[in-house]
Structure 1
Amino acid sequence: PHLIRSINDPEHPLTLEELNVVEQVRVQVSDPESTVAVAFTPTIPHCSMATLIGLSIKVKLLRSLPQRFKMDVHITPGTHASEHAVNKQLADKERVAAALENTHLLEVVNQCLSARS
């Protein structure tokens, strides 16, 4: 949980933790099983940044955890209008890899991950 609490929201000058988008109770880590599950709650049901937020969480975990970990980053059930579509995109390794090859998108993700001064 400490890895993702400081991720910046793409639209607000606050972190995901400050906005309650991520909360410790919705993060499960199993070291023996090498799994991490993160449920995040967009600030509004029609949040257009939900995929970007999920991608930022996923990238932060990918960069911070050993490769053996399997990650499940998804929207907290019932909190977003496009929950199923966003979860499907975040679960698709090829789509995530392709998204990170997009220079502009990667810049935005890196801005979300960089410490605010």
Structure 2
Amino acid sequence: MEKCEEIKEIIYDSLRNIQDPEKPMTLEDLNVITEEAIEVEYCQEMECYQITVTFLPTVPHCSLASLIGLCIRTQIRKSIDEKYKLKIIVKKGSHASEKEVNKQINDKERVSAAMENPNLKEMVEACISGES
């Protein structure tokens, strides 16, 4: 249980300073990401950590929710060395296209294809590095 809390802290610390793609503020500043919205459990069966990150878009029609999800996924990949299974979801009822966004940011093929797009990859890297 202690390791789960440690991983949760690492994740939160790595996500809190991601820059919003449109505003000169961080995801933490905008309450898009909160520490309470990160869950980490160890699954004995799968021998890995199951991580769920729930984020709250700033508006119900946020056109950049998928980009924010990609930023979260990319930053976690850079921050955690442990074996894990990651699920990123939009907070229930907070986005007009909630199901579509959740499907898009949790589909390995879609994520991989998105990150092969040089412009999208550059936007993700800018948000993660704080240069957006």
Structure 1 runs (4+) greater than 3 angstroms displaced: none
Equivalences for 1:1-117 in 2 at 5 Å? Answer: 1-31=12-42, 33-66=48-81, 68-116=83-131
- Structure 1 residue 67: Cα displacement: 5.6
1:65 Cα offset (Å): 1.1
The alignment's C-alpha RMSD in Å is 1.3
| Structure index of larger Rg | 2
TM-score by length of 2: 0.84
- Note the residue ranges of structure 2 that are not aligned, 5 or more in a row: 1-11
The percentage of counterpart residues that share the same residue type is 45
Deviates more, 1:58-67 or 1:81-90: 58-67
SS state of the match for residue 124, structure 2? helix
Deviation at 1:27, TM superposition (A): 0.6
Unaligned 5+ segments in structure 1 are none
Aligned length: 116
Distance 1:70 1:3 in 2: 17
Q: TM-score, normalised by structure 1?
A: 0.94
Q: Could you report, residue by residue, the CA deviation over 1:43-85 in whole angstroms, capped at 9, with x for unpaired residues?
A: 0000001000011001000111126111111100000000000
